[in-house]
Amino acid sequence: MASMRLDINGRPYTVDVDPQTSLLTVLREYLDLTGSKYGCGEGACGACTVLIDGRAQRSCITRVATVLGKQLTTIEGLASGEQLHPVQEAFLEAGAMQCGYCTSGMIMSAVALLKKTPQPEESDIVNFMNGNICRCGTYPRIVSAIQKAAKVMGSAAAGKGAGR
Amino acid sequence: MNKEIASGFILEPERYELSAKAPYRFDLDRREFFKFLGAGVMVVSVLKTASAAQESGGGARRRGESLPTEIDAWLHIGEDGKVTVYTGKVEVGQNIRTSLSQAVSEELHVAIAKIEMVMGDTQLTPFDMGTFGSRTTPTMNLQLRKVAAAARETLIGLAATQWSVDRARLRAADGKVTDTQGNRSVEYGALIKGQQLTKTVASDVALIPAAKWKVAGESAAKVDGRDFVTGKHRYPYDQKLPDMLYGIVVRPDAFNAALVSIDTAKPEAMGAVVVHDGSFVGVAAATSEQARAAAAAVHAEWKADPQVSNKELFDYLRKNTTEGKDPTGDGDRYDVGSVDQAMAAADHKLQQTYTVSYIAHVPLEPRAAVAKWDGDNLTVWTGTQRPFGVRGQLAEAFRIPEDKIRVLMPDTGSAYGGKHTGETAIEAARLARAAKRPVKVTWSREEEFTWAYFRPAGVIDVMSGVKHDGTITAWEFHNYNSGSAGIRTYYEVPNQRIVFHPVNSPLRQGSYRALAATANHFARESHMDELAHVLKMDSLEFRLKNLKDERLRAVFQAAAKKFGWGTSKSEGQGFGMGGGYEKLGNIATFAEVKVDRKSSEVKVVRVVSAFECGAIVNPDNLRNQIEGSNVQGLGGALFEAIEFENGKILNGRMSEYRVPRFADVPSLETVLLDRKDIPSVGAGECPMVGLAPAIANAIFDATGVRLRALPLVPNGLKNS
């Protein structure tokens, strides 16, 4: 057991936990941040995806000791107050879910993709997202949601640029 | 073994996991009900059988203080105008929370946002057998429309009395009743202030015809979608109670194993709660890691007899039918004309065997439950398609009456027919009873792959006879084990022998989306293509020649048109079709594949589906269901199969069992045929059944290789 300080969604948390514990378990069980989901426990489905310093990582195979001093973002920290992130908005608009269990991980992966590749081709989306499973089969809608979000974020960024 | 229920819906024999339970009799006192809900108007819908009995005087007329007993849905409007709808149906991603809200909104003229659906809570909602068989839209959607329409008429009546005017001049709209001849209107909430009215839905309540729908019939966003994109929604896996412990069940190392010896001293010394009760062994501890460590410290020895492996499976299935041996094992049989004579007289005869493997549902959320005892009252939160069925299982397991048990079902992370049972509910409740604290049990992916039930594997023999001109004269069809859903042919054949042979399955098996209709359509629609090939006829022409059903012809023709059937193909390209009738819907699916003969890779490039399920309730959600059926169906068609040996699953991990991913998805095109003149039926299952044969037929078209086993190409196409 060790006392650990974590930076999650811009807030400091302290947990007393075995450093070998998975980040997913810490988030869900110790901090009650249950938006990140368990799906397979081996990093093969993407339901547990969180951002670690902006990069999409599978929290179920990430030991909590390895994320000290890093900035974590989970699905709970994506919206600013009532204002949803454009990717969240786009998932709603595209109806890109059925049961929604994969949605958190899909959105977190998509946010990381758009950070890396702001205007992705369809093949970029398929390649980047291929580690995330949706058993309801809403993949085409997720692709179109990511395209929508890219468009919205692209024009918002252009608007900001013009204002400067 | 077919069981018929009140609605005339037949339970297919392959729903092995269902146990027949007497319906719960709701008997809440009317005053108690209003105490719970507050004043207002309450409208209840009474099951046909029960109301018929009342009308004929067969049952005591219950008026005044208590409610009729056989209720299937009800709705309450409070003094604040809030509408609450109660149904035993549950939400597992099929989006009925939204489509049922639409139905109520349409008839009651209230915005969807003002409607709350209370679903699948055995204490608050009426009994429901379960959410399966694509029954919600044809039954519950209709019932709720009637309930909402009756509420609307009641509100108009109240306003007419209040204003002393003829009700014909009053209109309900936007949560208000308006006087069309005077300049006045009143909100529903204000109208019912201080009232305690109970109404039963009259059989002749007027519904808005589909052609005039404004809310139903249009696409509506998932009602609580925001909770899903923000991670706020709590699935069963996310439930948490104060002082809750985490439980883990200690599993045998093979199916059907008996416990030989057990030593629980170590986990007990670690401070874990340990339960050893008959064949059940489980532990509970303050954290999931402690529980895992305690479970690992249990020393248990198991013994199992040698068991069938998937290598000898199909031979085993054919040789181990249970017909005549087991009183519950009677198959389904359908005979018409004389198959033997017709076969002897046929110009061409064809006999082929098709097989399907066991596959797993792989719901992304594995089974989960939290259980809590208050004295001898038990409350369980769990993900199940049958909350009332789970309550029955709990009552049986703990030998307590059902009225001591409450099962609640938070909207759950998918099911596909795989969550009809209450394993985790029982496990959590057993551990919680010993711990005297709430206990949560969540299955790991490996447990879900191993201890849930599978879609049945099956062997199907088809023998057919045709005339030179393409008329089918004889059709014999034997299905071993996989099931009887969709077993009958919709092609016109004067002589038929169709038999379902149940088998004592080596693996635990049960319902899977579309049931055996997937296997039966695969065999039938593949065989139709093989016959067309023998006759040197075009596949579509051959089907239409033997098909009279107008609705089914319409979907085949619509899909063919959209697909561009009959266009020429390039090297490695292949086109195929499959379709049929299932769960009252009609589907035709056309597929285009590309086969790389060098790498032996098969890629499904394009899928066109034409679907008709009567009047469409929510077109966007319908498209979503059809697309989802095709994407999920790709797995079972192309590569999914459970491998097992001697009582062990060999590929029970997400990294070892391939499910469809982004890169597998073809271009999906959907044609919706909206028949406003036909009652709406469900759409979660039927669209799946045409896909596998369409792909198999397209592979044959591309390569000349006929594949008769699902999955078709688990390792690519072996060159032959």
Separation between Cα atoms, residue B574 and residue B591, nearest integer Å: 8
Residues in contact with B604: Cβ distance below 8 Å, sequence separation at least 6, in sequence order: B591, B592, B593, B634, B638, B664, B666, B695, B698
Contact A130 B95 (CB under 8 A): no
Nearest CB neighbour to B412, from listed A28, A99, A135? A99
CATH topology of domain B3-227: Aldehyde Oxidoreductase; domain 4 (3.30.365)
CATH topology of domain B248-304+362-451: Aldehyde Oxidoreductase; domain 4 (3.30.365)
CA nearest neighbour of B487 among B475, B503, B495: B475
Measured CA angle at B675 (ends B673, B678), to 5 deg:
140
CA nearest neighbour of B361 among B229, B453, B230: B453
Confidence of residue B51 (pLDDT cuts 50, 70, 90): very low
Separation between Cα atoms, residue B497 and residue B464, nearest integer Å: 10
* Each residue's pLDDT tens digit, B258-286: 999 999 999 999 999 999 998 899 999 99
What residue ranges do the domains of chain B occupy? Answer: 3-227, 248-304+362-451, 312-358+454-710
Closest chain A residue to B231, measured at CA: A35
Confidence of residue B686 (pLDDT cuts 50, 70, 90): very high
Separation between Cα atoms, residue A142 and residue A110, nearest integer Å: 9
Which of A101, A129, A146 is most worth mutating to test chain B (most B CB atoms within 10 A of its CB)? A101
Closest chain B residue to A97, measured at CA: B93
Domain A2-77 homologous superfamily, CATH? Beta-grasp domain (3.10.20.30)
Contact B654 A95 (CB under 8 A): no
* B700: pLDDT strictly greater than 80: yes
Residue B618's pLDDT is what? 86
Residue B329's pLDDT is what? 52
Separation between Cα atoms, residue B415 and residue B680, nearest integer Å: 23
Structural contact between residues B317 and B309, judged by C-beta atoms closer than 8 angstroms: no
Closest chain B residue to A108, measured at CA: B229
Residue B19's pLDDT is what? 47
Residue B330's pLDDT is what? 56
Q: Which of A6-20, B201-215, B263-277, B461-475 has the lowest mean pLDDT?
A: B201-215
Contact B228 A97 (CB under 8 A): yes
Element spanning B453, H or E: none
Residue B65, judged by CB atoms within 10 A of its CB (0-12, 13-18, 19+), counts as exposed
Side-chain-side CA neighbours of B97 within 13 Å: the count stands at 21
Mean pLDDT score across all residues of chain B: 90
CA nearest neighbour of B251 among B277, B293, B279, B287: B279
Share of chain B above pLDDT 70, in %: 91
CA nearest neighbour of B519 among B500, B496, B545: B500
Residue B22's pLDDT is what? 35
A58/chain B closest Cα distance in angstroms: 14
Q: How many CB atoms lie within 10 A of CB A53?
A: 11
Separation between Cα atoms, residue A129 and residue A83, nearest integer Å: 25
Confidence of residue B50 (pLDDT cuts 50, 70, 90): very low
Residue B443's pLDDT is what? 98
Residue B129's pLDDT is what? 86
Separation between Cα atoms, residue B464 and residue A145, nearest integer Å: 48
Class of domain A86-159: mainly alpha
Contact A29 B659 (CB under 8 A): no
Mean pLDDT of B99-121: 94
* B423: pLDDT strictly greater than 90: yes
* Each residue's pLDDT tens digit, B488-509: 999 999 999 999 999 999 999 9
| B195: its two tokens | 């009232």
Residue A1's pLDDT is what? 83
Element spanning A154, H or E: helix A139-163
B94/chain A closest Cα distance in angstroms: 6
* B328: pLDDT strictly greater than 60: no
* Each residue's pLDDT tens digit, B63-78: 334 555 567 778 999 9
Mean pLDDT of A66-86: 97
Contact A76 B632 (CB under 8 A): no
Residues in contact with B193: Cβ distance below 8 Å, sequence separation at least 6, in sequence order: B39, B79
Confidence of residue B617 (pLDDT cuts 50, 70, 90): confident
* B52: pLDDT strictly greater than 80: no
* B387: pLDDT strictly greater than 60: yes
Q: How many CB atoms lie within 10 A of CB B657?
A: 22
* A51: pLDDT strictly greater than 60: yes
Separation between Cα atoms, residue B203 and residue B235, nearest integer Å: 38
Fold matches, A2-77 and A86-159: no
Residue B709, judged by CB atoms within 10 A of its CB (0-12, 13-18, 19+), counts as middle
Confidence of residue B18 (pLDDT cuts 50, 70, 90): low
Q: What is the 3-state secondary structure (H, E, C) of B363-380?
A: CCCCCEEEEEEECCEEEE
Confidence of residue A157 (pLDDT cuts 50, 70, 90): confident
ipTM, two decimals, is 0.97
CA nearest neighbour of A48 among A59, A40, A56, A34: A59
Separation between Cα atoms, residue B695 and residue B705, nearest integer Å: 12
Residue A161's pLDDT is what? 64
Element spanning B164, H or E: none
Measured CA angle at B468 (ends B466, B470), to 5 deg:
60
Mean pLDDT of B307-334: 83
Confidence of residue B198 (pLDDT cuts 50, 70, 90): confident
Closest chain A residue to B360, measured at CA: A135
Measured CA angle at B454 (ends B710, B299), to 5 deg:
130
What residue ranges do the domains of chain A occupy? Answer: 2-77, 86-159
Question: For residues A19, A23, A25 and A27, what is the CA-based torsion angle, rounded to 10 degrees?
Answer: 120
Separation between Cα atoms, residue B103 and residue B522, nearest integer Å: 35
A125/chain B closest Cα distance in angstroms: 9
Share of chain B above pLDDT 90, in %: 76
Closest chain B residue to A91, measured at CA: B229
Mean pLDDT of B191-220: 85
Residue B11's pLDDT is what? 66
* B28: pLDDT strictly greater than 60: no
Q: Which residue type is seen at A151?
A: K
Contact A25 B363 (CB under 8 A): no
* B627: pLDDT strictly greater than 50: yes
Contact A136 B93 (CB under 8 A): yes
CATH topology of domain B312-358+454-710: Aldehyde Oxidoreductase; domain 4 (3.30.365)
